Amino acid sequence: MIKAKIKGQDLAIDQPIVAAGTIAYLEIQFDFSEDWNGFIKTAHFLNNDDDIVYDVLIENDKIVGDKQLNLSAGTWFIWIHGNEYKSGKMVTRITTDIAKIKVKQTGMLDGEPIKITPPSIGEQILGIATEAKNTAEAAKETAESVAEFPKDLLYEKTKSKGTFVIATVDLAAGASVTVSCQ
């Protein structure tokens, strides 16, 4: 995890080694001085090799892995701004100076990068199997939680060839499960 300390407009980065090629992994924890309290904060990233600025909203003084802070190799420049709003209007903006994040090339061998290989067939199968296992476990937990229905949710319907019991249980997020037995 990258750590950043902001005191007023001074931005200091305490950076561990960062290697290119990571996906949804990098995180930054920010420590802001009190004058940033109540501000909506945004971090800006610029790679030395291009002119595109990437903006990432800072939430709870952190940029988490799912924000896709996927930095390529090279020197990245970072700066932050924060806006304070009152009655829907921006009334104050604070900015920082620029700090650098150095991202090392991944897979270097004799000064040349090794090609990043896609997951092997075994890794792909393992990923699919793990996802199927997790889905099955979640389904089992759901089935176990609805195994015993409250009596007031049961509806009984009799036909000439047998008795059918139909039960419907509302689950979280508006989902429902219907069970029919003969």
Please write the tens of the pLDDT for every residue from 147-171.
655 544 544 444 445 544 444 444 4
Rama region for 112: left / alpha / beta (φ>0; ψ in -120 to 50; rest): beta
Dump pLDDT digits (tens) for 37-91: 999 999 999 987 778 888 899 999 999 888 878 888 889 999 999 999 888 888 9
Residue 125 tokens, joined: 């199968």
pLDDT value at residue 5: 97
Among 140, 67, 147, 74, residue whose Cα is nearest residue 105 = 74
pTM value > 0.75:
no
The three-point CA angle 97-101-103 to 5° equals: 160
Amino acid identity, position 95: T
Q: What pLDDT is attached to residue 80?
A: 96
Q: 82: closest CA among 52, 61, 53, 51?
A: 61
**What pLDDT is stored for residue 113 in this prediction?**
52
SS3 64: coil
Scanning 8-161, the segments in alpha helix (DSSP H) are 121-145
Task: Report the distance separating Cα 94 and Cα 79, nearest Å.
Answer: 11
Full set of structural domains in the chain with CATH = 2-112 (2.60.40), 142-182 (no CATH)
The per-residue pLDDT for 160 is 47
Per-residue pLDDT tens digits for 87-120: 888 899 999 999 999 998 886 555 555 555 667 6
The strand pairing partners of 108, in sequence order, are 113
Q: How many H-runs (helices) and E-runs (strands) does the chain carry?
A: 1, 15
The pLDDT of residue 52: 84
pLDDT at position 83 is 92
| Residue 92: closest CA among 35, 141, 49 | 35
CA–CA separation, 58 and 71 (whole Å): 17
pLDDT at 117: 61
Q: What is the pLDDT of residue 101?
A: 92
d(CA 28, CA 2): 5
* Placement of tokens 């997790």 in the chain: 134
